[in-house]
Amino acid sequence: MRVRPLLPADWAQVVEVYADAVRTLAAPHYCPEQIDAWASHPSDNPDVSEALARGQGLVGCPDDQPQRVEGFALLDPADRLSLLYCRGRSSRQGLATCLVRALEEQARARGQRRLRTEASRLSRPLLERLGWSVDGEEEILFAGQPFVRWRMSTALSACPVSAAIPFDAPSPLSEPSPLAKCSPATDLSPATDQLP
């Protein structure tokens, strides 16, 4: 897999990835009504498109098909991991880890000291393995359905952690290369997703 910047041309695929991730991975943790409400969110609500337009995102693509999106992550605003999704067929291959680590590196290079998020039952275990801490639990009403999620955060050290990032990371003072190689053998965590 390769990680590259999210482009406007990717947005239609990103909506597909979002729905696919929820429909294929959430069943052990959420009821059918929650899954339906969550999976249809990007189609029913302009918030996702607005976040994609204003945020900083990355996508994961197969090495031989750099235009086929298998996963994506988005910072919106610059200190918040707002979206993190991988297709079911690409889960448990380390792509979510690559995306999170790459966004952490970019945020660090832009002077961010801390990142925050609201994690789902799927993304919380991954983020905890990556060193994120739970700051609190909350219950929200999302598309008419109740969801529990966890406010989480991580401190970004002043020193880059490029050596620990499972892809060919850029220097912390430069933009990432358009196609950074991801090493899927590094992490066998499930694909993750976020509630907006």
- How many separate domains does the chain show? 1
> Which pLDDT tens digit goes with each residue over 67-107?
999 999 999 999 999 999 999 999 888 999 999 999 999 99
Domain containing residue 65: 2-186
Report how far apart, in Å, the C-alpha atoms of 140 and of each of 49, 55, 125, 132 are. 21, 23, 20, 21
By the 8 A CB rule, do 183 and 166 touch?
yes
* pLDDT tens column, 147-169: 999 999 999 987 654 434 333 33
> What is each CA distance from 22 to 41, 45, 67, 101, 112, in whole angstroms?
10, 16, 22, 22, 30
The pLDDT confidence band at residue 174, using thresholds 50, 70 and 90, is: very low
Q: What is the CATH number of the domain that holds 29?
A: 3.40.630.30
Task: Classify residue 11: in a domain, yes or no.
Answer: yes
**Token digits of residue 24:** 């294929």
Q: Which residues contact 96 (CB under 8 A, 6 or more apart)?
A: 71, 73, 84, 86, 123, 126, 187, 189, 190, 191, 192
**Domain contains 164:** yes
pTM for this model (two decimals): 0.81
Residue 195 forms part of a structural domain: no
Average pLDDT over residues 25-45: 90
